[in-house]
């Protein structure tokens, strides 16, 4: 099957590189040439017609002949035999240099790019220092210290060349680190080591091969340069470098002698370069198409005062208390979630509703301890099963993320690695959480795929993400989330990207799973219908504040915050034919531009000057009902005034007529 242009392709990076090399005659010829030279080096003792140091003083400086295909040197030694034997020394040196650079450069680059922070700063500083050291002087010092030991010189070359590689790997890792499937792997609780090996390393392989290839060319030139200077392996043992040196001494008598080593060296360097270029072309488009990171918005600091504390419930599975999350902006840290509190009991499904940009996703991420780079919890705490999550170290977090709290995001396809099959995605998590052998984990994987009602689990397990529909991808994401049998599932708009029929299926699936396994669910949604169908209680969030919370039927029938009332009135079902869709005037303010006092005041039909003069406390109009509105009694009156005649009794269905949109 040929996937349509622009879609993800099943072809993995190694396959793409292989195909690009095969399609280009020059790259193919380069590969063939290097393979030939390498084979010559390996089988030199068998292939060489003479010994590398055997002299024949009767035939010195002879040109090519049937006895000596490439002629003889000034001591009558066979040039072809010396070239073959010399290639062993040269390729060994190149291998030592490149291997050292790979080990040092790739390791440091990966760690700097993936861990960031002080590791990144330390690696940057070290690479700057090493890059400032002149290579040739350092190699001369090493050779002086180690007595012409070529291995020491080439290892030193590898170390000195590693900063360039480290920088390339760091850059590529920074890009890969932002990919949703890497975030998904972290959320699922995979250890860093596994993520680096399984998710990041395969993606930086392209740039690494390019660099290694170019490095091999310069390692070869360095090795032959040392041989030419009479350093490294000493005569009479042949190296390509000392063959060039020998030829240069007799260039006036036999210029041909320079041709064989000059050609093999030149072609080898050219081949390494051509292969590097081809791999770069094969991998460049993927790096270029990687989406840019989300820009951090400029904002000024807000001055909200803390609101009264929520009633901490000792029996809650999750208790978020007065949580403030700040993100870095040009003006320092800006609070994005501001004193938010919420609770979820064991096995309970709770909704989190609000317009885009209100802070719902960040609240979920803060619960999982996965904030964007530079983001911090600056106040409040998150208690899970009584334990303060802020006190967990990386090892303990691994026992929580994916294992006890799992996430299903709104972009299921994005959270699946395009180069990994469905089965491997689930299998890796099954083994991470339950251990066991390959057979047992495969059986469990198939169980999970059938639990989320994926047709033909065996076949689906062998599929790649691009072969799945949105609904199937979401089911796979749910299966992955369930692999650790979590007690809490954060479902961040799990049906937003799906069509209505699939939405209904996914919601039914979530409800069934919750019923069967007793999993608590925090359901982030824009859709009141979904919230009414799924949740017992809901929280309404606006511009970083929790503005209202209550049992869902209560919210639907008696909202006590104008924002909730406005949101309910905006449901598309209130639209009239050819009429405009109801909407709340204005937009959610950016985190740094939130007005003082009630953030909703500029859009609120009930706002008065008191609303903007200071922080608005939280009121509790009824048991279990909380609102952050000074005019909550007026909201209640408006709702009752707006009840249409003959309307069904409150709370009977989610789409019942609710108050008109606020004036303004
Ligand atoms: N990585 C980030 N860097 C800077 N600002 C961010 C980042 N992520 C979110 N924000 C900002 O934080 C605020 C809250 O974002 P969040 O994604 O939590 O909102 P949301 O209510 O979940 O919206 P949506 O429904 O669109 O996902 C927004 O103003 C957003 O622009």
Site to probe by mutation for ligand 1, drawn from 292, 336, 355, 599 as the one with most ligand atoms within 8 Å of Cβ, is 336
Give the residues of the chain that fall short of pLDDT 50.
1-11, 285-312, 643-664
CA distances 2 to 7, 428, 472, Å, are 10, 28, 20
Nearest in space to 89 (alpha carbons), one of 256, 234, 213:
234
In sequence order, the β-bridge partners of residue 376 are: 326
Nearest in space to 581 (alpha carbons), one of 570, 589, 590, 568:
570
Given this model, what pLDDT does residue 563 score? 94
Residue 543 Cα to ligand 1 middle (Å): 10
Ligand 1: atom nearest CA of 337 is 14
Alpha-carbon distance of 412 to 473, in angstroms, equals 6
Residue 636 Cα to ligand 1 middle (Å): 31
DSSP reduced 3-state for 320: strand
Site to probe by mutation for ligand 1, drawn from 324, 359, 522 as the one with most ligand atoms within 8 Å of Cβ, is 359
Fold of the 315-404+486-573+596-640 domain: Rossmann fold (3.40.50)
Query: Mind giving me the DSSP string for 373-440?
Result: TT-EEEEEEEEETTEEGGG--HHHHHTTBTTTEEEE-S-TTTTS-TTS-HHHHHHHHHHHHH---HHH
Other Cβ atoms within 10 Å of 544 Cβ, number: 29
DSSP reduced 3-state for 259: helix
Alpha-carbon distance of 197 to 206, in angstroms, equals 15
Residue 79 Cα to ligand 1 middle (Å): 70
CA distances 611 to 331, 594, 607, 664, Å, are 26, 13, 6, 16
SS3 sequence of 158-227: HHHHHHHHHHHHHHHHHHHHCCHHHHHHHHCCCCHHHHHHHHHHHHHHHHHHHHHHHHHHHHHHHHHHHH
Alpha-carbon distance of 57 to 84, in angstroms, equals 21
Residue 614 Cα to ligand 1 middle (Å): 25
Ligand 1: atom nearest CA of 541 is 21
DSSP reduced 3-state for 640: helix
Residue nearest to atom 3 of ligand 1 (CA): 296
Residue 643 Cα to ligand 1 middle (Å): 35
Given this model, what pLDDT does residue 658 score? 33
Other Cβ atoms within 10 Å of 88 Cβ, number: 20
Residue nearest to atom 6 of ligand 1 (CA): 296
Kindly compute the dihedral angle of the four CA atoms of residues 495, 293, 390, 323, in this order, to the nearest 10 degrees: -70
Catalogue the E-assigned strands of 95-173.
none
Residue 585 Cα to ligand 1 middle (Å): 20
Other Cβ atoms within 10 Å of 25 Cβ, number: 8
Residue 371 Cα to ligand 1 middle (Å): 11
Given this model, what pLDDT does residue 663 score? 35
Cβ-contact 167, 127 below 8 angstroms? yes
pLDDT tens digits, one per residue of 238-287: 889 889 988 888 888 889 999 999 999 999 999 998 888 888 777 654 43
Cβ-contact 344, 517 below 8 angstroms? no
DSSP reduced 3-state for 449: helix
Given this model, what pLDDT does residue 289 score? 39
Residue nearest to atom 16 of ligand 1 (CA): 359
Alpha-carbon distance of 551 to 285, in angstroms, equals 51
Q: Enter the tokens of residue 662.
A: 């606020």
pLDDT tens digits, one per residue of 540-568: 999 999 999 999 999 988 999 999 998 88
Residue nearest to atom 26 of ligand 1 (CA): 356
Percent of residues in the chain assigned helix, strand, coil, to nearest 5: 50, 10, 35
Ligand 1: atom nearest CA of 365 is 18
Alpha-carbon distance of 169 to 55, in angstroms, equals 49
Given this model, what pLDDT does residue 36 score? 93
**What residue spans define the domains of the chain?**
15-285, 315-404+486-573+596-640, 417-484
Residue 296 Cα to ligand 1 middle (Å): 10
Tally the C-alpha atoms within 13 A of residue 249's C-alpha that lie toward its C-beta: 12
Cβ-contact 386, 556 below 8 angstroms? no
Residue 464 Cα to ligand 1 middle (Å): 30
Q: Identify the H or E element spanning 476.
A: helix 470-482
Residue nearest to atom 14 of ligand 1 (CA): 359
Pocket of ligand 1 (CB under 6 A): 294, 296-297, 327, 336, 354, 356-362, 372, 590-591
Q: Enter the tokens of residue 518.
A: 């007793």
Residue 376 Cα to ligand 1 middle (Å): 14
Given this model, what pLDDT does residue 2 score? 37
For helices 470-482 and 422-434, angle between their N-to-C axes, nearest 10 degrees:
10
Site to probe by mutation for ligand 1, drawn from 326, 327, 342, 357 as the one with most ligand atoms within 8 Å of Cβ, is 357
Cβ-contact 398, 411 below 8 angstroms? no
Distance of CA 118 to the CA centre of its chain: 20
Q: Enter the tokens of residue 341.
A: 């509190």
Given this model, what pLDDT does residue 576 score? 62
Residue 539 Cα to ligand 1 middle (Å): 17
Site to probe by mutation for ligand 1, drawn from 296, 360, 543 as the one with most ligand atoms within 8 Å of Cβ, is 360
Residue 361 Cα to ligand 1 middle (Å): 7
Residue nearest to atom 31 of ligand 1 (CA): 357
Ligand 1: atom nearest CA of 293 is 1
Fold of the 15-285 domain: MetI-like fold (1.10.3720)
Given this model, what pLDDT does residue 649 score? 37
């Amino acid at each position: 099957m040929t996937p349509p242009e622009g879609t993800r392709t099943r072809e993995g990076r190694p396959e793409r590189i292989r195909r690009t090399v095969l399609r280009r005659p020059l790259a193919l010829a380069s590969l063939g040439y290097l393979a030939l030279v390498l084979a010559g080096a390996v089988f030199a003792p068998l292939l060489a017609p003479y010994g590398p140091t055997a002299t024949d003083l009767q035939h010195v400086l002879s040109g090519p002949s049937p006895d000596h295909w490439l002629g003889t040197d000034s001591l009558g030694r066979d040039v072809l035999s010396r070239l073959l034997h010399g290639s062993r020394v040269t390729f060994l040196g190149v291998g030592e240099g490149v291997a050292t650079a790979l080990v040092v450069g790739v390791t440091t680059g990966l760690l700097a790019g993936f861990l960031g922070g002080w590791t990144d700063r330390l690696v940057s500083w070290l690479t700057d220092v090493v890059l400032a050291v002149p290579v040739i002087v350092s190699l001369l010092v090493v050779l002086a210290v180690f007595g012409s030991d070529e291995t020491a010189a080439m290892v030193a070359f590898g170390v000195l060349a590693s900063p360039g590689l480290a920088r390339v790997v760091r850059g590529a890792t920074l890009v890969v680190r932002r990919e949703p499937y890497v975030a998904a792997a972290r959320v699922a609780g995979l250890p860093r080591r596994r993520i680096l090996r399984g998710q990041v390393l395969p993606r930086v392989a392209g740039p690494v091969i390019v660099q290694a290839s170019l490095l091999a060319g310069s390692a070869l030139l360095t090795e032959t340069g040392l041989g030419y200077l009479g350093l490294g392996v000493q005569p009479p043992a042949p190296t390509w470098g000392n063959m060039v040196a020998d030829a240069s001494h007799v260039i006036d008598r036999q210029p041909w002698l320079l041709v064989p080593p000059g050609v093999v060296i030149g072609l080898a360097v050219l081949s390494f370069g051509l292969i590097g270029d081809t791999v770069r072309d094969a991998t460049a488009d993927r790096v270029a198409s990687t989406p840019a990171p989300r820009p951090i918005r400029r904002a000024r600091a807000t001055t909200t005062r803390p609101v009264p504390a929520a009633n901490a419930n000792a029996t809650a599975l999750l208790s978020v208390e007065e949580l403030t999350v700040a993100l870095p902006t040009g003006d320092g840290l800006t609070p994005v979630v501001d004193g938010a509190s919420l609770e979820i009991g064991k096995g309970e499904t709770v909704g989190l509703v609000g317009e885009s940009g209100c802070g719902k996703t960040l609240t979920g991420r803060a619960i999982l301890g996965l904030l964007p780079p530079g983001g911090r919890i600056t106040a409040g705490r998150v208690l899970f099963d009584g334990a303060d999550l802020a006190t967990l170290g990386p090892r303990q977090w691994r026992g929580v993320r994916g294992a006890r709290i799992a996430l299903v995001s709104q972009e299921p396809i994005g959270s699946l690695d395009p180069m990994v099959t469905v089965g491997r995605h689930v299998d890796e998590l099954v083994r991470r959480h339950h251990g066991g052998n390959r057979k047992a984990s495969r059986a469990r994987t198939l169980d999970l795929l059938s639990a989320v009602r994926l047709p033909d689990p065996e076949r689906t397990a062998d599929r790649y993400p691009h072969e799945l529909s949105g609904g199937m991808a979401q089911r796979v994401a749910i299966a992955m989330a369930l692999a650790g049998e979590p007690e809490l599932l954060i479902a961040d708009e799990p049906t937003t990207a799906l069509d209505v029929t699939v939405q209904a299926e996914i919601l039914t699936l979530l409800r069934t799973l919750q019923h069967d396994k007793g999993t608590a669910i925090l359901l982030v949604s824009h859709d009141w219908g979904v919230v009414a169908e799924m949740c017992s209680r809901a929280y309404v969030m606006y511009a970083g504040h929790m503005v209202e919370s209550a049992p869902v039927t209560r919210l639907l029938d008696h909202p006590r915050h104008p924002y909730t009332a406005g949101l309910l009135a905006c449901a598309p079902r209130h639209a009239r034919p050819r009429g405009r869709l109801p909407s709340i005037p204005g937009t959610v303010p950016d985190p740094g531009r939130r007005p003082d006092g009630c953030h909703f005041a500029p859009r609120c039909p009930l706002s008065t000057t008191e609303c903007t003069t200071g922080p608005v406390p939280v009121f509790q109009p009824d048991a279990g009902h909380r609102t952050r509105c000074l005019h909550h009694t007026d909201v209640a009156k408006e709702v009752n005034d707006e009840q249409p005649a003959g309307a069904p009794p409150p709370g009977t269905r989610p789409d019942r007529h609710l108050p008109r949109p606020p004036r303004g």
